Amino acid sequence: MQICVIGTGYVGLCSGVGLAAKGNQVACVGRNKDKIAGIQQGIPPIFEGGLQELLQEVLRNGLFRATDDFAGAVKEAEATFLCVGTPSGKDGRIDLTEMRQAAAQVGEALPDGYCVVVVKSTVVPGTTEEMIRILEERSGRKAGKDFGVCMNPEFLREGRALQDFLQPDRVVVGQLDPRSGDVLQRLYAPFQAPILRTDLKTAEMIKYASNSLLATKISFANEVGNLCKQLGIDTYAVMGGVGLDHRIGPHFLRAGVGFGGSCFQKDVSALKSLAEDQGVPAPLITDVLEVNRRQRFKIIDLLERRLPVNGKTIAILGLSFMGGTDDIRESPALDIIPALLQKGAAVRAYDPQATRHVRPLFPQVTYCASAREALAGADACLLLTEWEEFRSLTDQDFSGMRSPVILEGRRMLDRSKVSRFEGICW
């Protein structure tokens, strides 16, 4: 099929490259000419495992192109995916500015023949119906008759976004009408995953409920973890036992410094605001965020029990919000570093990928090219991101520290390799 993807972020690019890899002809539309040029040369603007290799393959076999010709790409497409940003506004409510603009532009460029417009960005229930009104106003055409509309949420984890796109647990197809859904049914048939056909609002809510439940599992794991820590129990042993229950499952029960990333905070905030606007009490959803906010400062409390921070040098290992990505949005490090600086600490930091994004935010931090360099001369160390390379750290790497105060927030250190460290919840 001829596909147009609006947006060159990790959802748009991974979806576009993934659909091209399945044999579709994909045009990925962006506004930034430098980004477009880079993608055309096979260099993605984001760091995602496997993306560069697959992008170069689909470029080579002519199945994928990046362009800033919005109208041209929409006109040729049988399906146009809206993968634009839907960030949190100041009050935590979803900001639909980009989505509305994209819907208006698509409306103006709709092809003469039948096509389907697909909202893929994460949007609160009722949003796709608002986009339909914009599409009809701008095109003078009737949705469900002259063109189709679907809502097809993404469940991509950063760092594994391409793998999650190519091997989904399920494909959710919210449809305005069966003809619209049939187009996506055909598009996703090669993915060998269950395809769930729903109405538009159900598909929108499945995404919010999924993300909010995942975030809830993490905050629950952290609350139990904090209690286990107090009781001298290893919470990972506890959650290992809990996760064997097939009704619960082992995933997203890892206690630590809490969740970061552009999605959980944004989506849980939007769901909280939606409940408030509807006058429906949702205290659990509200507390998921508060538990997570407090958790990242817990590692500083533990540190201050071990040494006075003022005047000390603290090494931070890990700046991105999780291993495998250079994305720092909502990363625990972005709250922990300023808190340490405020307490009079000198901070040294190392991250395999994310340093370039953090350096402008905290120029007073010393950025290092390796963990060992960051640890040299430090009075304490905080491990904040689950980068695989941190699993292989040994006492030797920490031997350059002035004092062996090592606190980890992501269960990465191996007691057989590092003899002295303390976990935030273990």
Q: Which residues lie near ligand UDX (CB under 6 A)?
A: 154-158, 211, 214, 218, 252-254, 256, 258-261, 263-264, 321-322, 386
Q: Report, in Å, the least distance between residue 169 CB and ligand UDX.
A: 10
Question: Quick one: 44 or 148, whose CB is closer to ligand UDX?
Answer: 44
Q: Report, in Å, the least distance between residue 312 CB and ligand UDX.
A: 26
Question: Quick one: 70 or 208, whose CB is closer to ligand UDX?
Answer: 208
Question: Quick one: 139 or 292, whose CB is closer to ligand UDX?
Answer: 292
Decide if 96 contacts 131 (C-beta within 8 A): no
Q: Report, in Å, the least distance between residue 7 CB and ligand UDX.
A: 14
Question: Quick one: 139 or 235, whose CB is closer to ligand UDX?
Answer: 235
Decide if 158 contacts 327 (C-beta within 8 A): yes
Active-site residue flag, 263 = yes
Decide if 284 contacts 223 (C-beta within 8 A): no
Question: Quick one: 379 or 386, whose CB is closer to ligand UDX?
Answer: 386
Q: For residue 172, give the DSSP letter.
A: E
Decide if 176 contacts 125 (C-beta within 8 A): no
Catalytic: which of 4, 263, 368, 381? 263
User: How far apart, in whole angstroms, are the C-alpha atoms of residue 191 and residue 208?
Assistant: 23
User: How far apart, in whole angstroms, are the C-alpha atoms of residue 410 and residue 295?
Assistant: 12
Q: Report, in Å, the least distance between residue 355 CB and ligand UDX.
A: 18
Number of Cβ within 10 Å of residue 271's Cβ equals 25
Q: Report, in Å, the least distance between residue 91 CB and ligand UDX.
A: 21
* Amino acid occupying residue 135: L
Catalytic residues: 263
